[in-house]
Amino acid sequence: MLQCGTAVPRCQYFQQADFPIYIGLLSDSGDSRIRTRLPCSMSVCRVMCGPEWEPGTVPPATASLTGFPAENRWKTIRQSLRFVLLCPLRLQPTDRLTEPAIYPACQGETCTLREKPPIYNSEEEREKLRAASRFNAQLLDFVRPQIRAGITTAEIDTLVHNYTLDHGHTPACLGYMGFPRSVCTSINEVVCHGIPGQQELKDGDIVNIDLTTIVDGWYGDQSETFLIGEVSDEARRLVQITFDSLYLGIRAIKPNGRVRDIGQAIYDYATEHGLQVVQEYQGHGIGRKFHQEPGIPHFPSDRGGRVLIRPGMCFTIEPMLNLGTWRTTVDADGWTVRTRDGKLSAQFEHTLLMTEDGPEILTQTQDGPQEGHQF
């Protein structure tokens, strides 16, 4: 049990959706169960504990978090957690901490708060999903020729931002939970959520471009890893296996199939080739919200065996594969996720709609790699 005045060992922090993140511990054995239900902010490394409150409700106003804007301090828990993560912190001896609660479904893997996944049964809703994803794919094709050595990630961000606004749409990443840019650019050992800046792409890099657009109130989301110039054999192999694993995950599901089957297919293929699957981050439901149920782990989660993909569900599959350990760290900016050992990471992502006939890929580009592509 976490005690006031003691340091939380080997912790890291993680941002996911617009709900409180829980404090979690990573023990020497790798156990990562949720240990308490104290909400926190990604930019905060110290918690001031307030009066006891019931998880799932807005905590008392007297509770506070240092360094987090008061107007966004407390939010009702309403969506799913991806994993157990927080930055290192030390509770002050005078802080109050109630008895931690262990969420029963959390056994060192992905947890959810059991919201029902939205079902989009009407053709009008499905067309809205298709339209948002179609524009997002068009956007990726627009920036594709510019993803080359010499361009800065800030310049990529400007291209994405202006093209989106010129077409009357909204870049979903900009301002989301404080994210400062319109696209995520993750280079080499950066797993995800890289913030665009003045870093130039150079020959031999791999970079993931992660785009999300809001079109008439609906979201489309996808990412692709690009090879910059002549890359190493191990980088090319990593990108190829990650790309192939995405389609193996897609082809593993059918109407009313199990979420677990997606993660099993990806995990088996990755480990067969000596790669590790990132477990702190996962795919997610999408539609009128950026992140919603169902959560889509890319490894065989026990809970994933109980969740079925019904016709009308819309979600992303976005495996992240690493050359080394699957464990990650997060930079001081609260966003940039890196492999813990500094080795390369790659990712691909599609938004999918489960129809009565099977999964429909909504974010397929015209100019990008198709299923079976060889890098």
* Rounded Cα–Cα distance for residues 262 and 252 (Å): 6
Q: What is the largest CA-CA distance in the chain?
A: 59
Tell me what the pLDDT averaged over the chain comes to. Answer: 75
For residues 53-63, average pLDDT:
34
What percentage of the chain's residues is helix, strand, coil (to nearest 5)? 20, 25, 55
For residues 7-22, average pLDDT:
30
List, for residues 226-247, the tens digit of each pLDDT value: 999 999 999 999 999 999 999 9
* pLDDT grade for 137, boundaries at 50, 70 and 90: very high
With 60 as the cut, is the pLDDT of residue 131 above it? yes
What's the confidence (pLDDT) of residue 126?
98
With 80 as the cut, is the pLDDT of residue 1 above it? no
What's the confidence (pLDDT) of residue 306?
79
To the nearest whole percent, how much of the chain has pLDDT over 70? 69
Q: What are the DSSP calls for 2-66, one per residue?
A: --TT-BPTT------SSSPEEEE---TT----EEEEEEE-TT-S-EE--S---TTSPPPTT-EET
Q: What are the DSSP calls for 273-301, one per residue?
A: TT-EE--S--EEE-SSSSSEEEEE-SS--
* Rounded Cα–Cα distance for residues 219 and 169 (Å): 10
Residue ranges covered by each domain of the chain: 1-115, 123-361
What's the confidence (pLDDT) of residue 90?
29
Where is average pLDDT lowest: 65-69, 151-155, 157-161, 289-293?
Answer: 65-69
Q: Which two tokens stand for residue 156?
A: 């990529």
Which residues on neighbouring strands pair with residue 361, listed in sequence order? 352
With 50 as the cut, is the pLDDT of residue 140 above it? yes
What's the confidence (pLDDT) of residue 103?
23
What's the confidence (pLDDT) of residue 304?
61
With 50 as the cut, is the pLDDT of residue 141 above it? yes
For residues 206-213, average pLDDT:
98
Where is average pLDDT lowest: 61-75, 211-225, 238-252?
Answer: 61-75
For residues 286-293, average pLDDT:
94
List, for residues 306-316, the tens digit of each pLDDT value: 789 999 999 99
Which residues on neighbouring strands pair with residue 171, listed in sequence order? 213
With 70 as the cut, is the pLDDT of residue 293 above it? yes
For the domain made up of 123-361, give the CATH fold.
Answer: Creatine Amidinohydrolase (3.90.230)
With 80 as the cut, is the pLDDT of residue 142 above it? yes
List, for residues 66-112, the tens digit of each pLDDT value: 333 333 322 322 222 222 222 222 223 222 223 222 222 222 223 33
Beta strand 350-355 with 358-361: parallel, antiparallel or unpaired? antiparallel
What's the confidence (pLDDT) of residue 116?
85
For tokens 């490394």, name the residue. 45
With 50 as the cut, is the pLDDT of residue 248 above it? yes
Provide the Cα torsion 191, 354, 175, 365; round to 10°: 70
SS3 208: strand
Contact 156, 209 (CB under 8 A): yes
SS3 174: coil
Where is average pLDDT lowest: 96-110, 175-189, 210-224, 248-262?
Answer: 96-110
What's the confidence (pLDDT) of residue 152?
97
For residues 171-196, average pLDDT:
95
* Rounded Cα–Cα distance for residues 25 and 2 (Å): 9
Burial class (CB in 10 A: 0-12, 13-18, 19+), 257: middle
With 90 as the cut, is the pLDDT of residue 5 above it? no
What's the confidence (pLDDT) of residue 305?
65
Residue 327 is classified by DSSP as -
Residue 90 is classified by DSSP as B
For residues 137-145, average pLDDT:
98
For residues 3-11, average pLDDT:
28
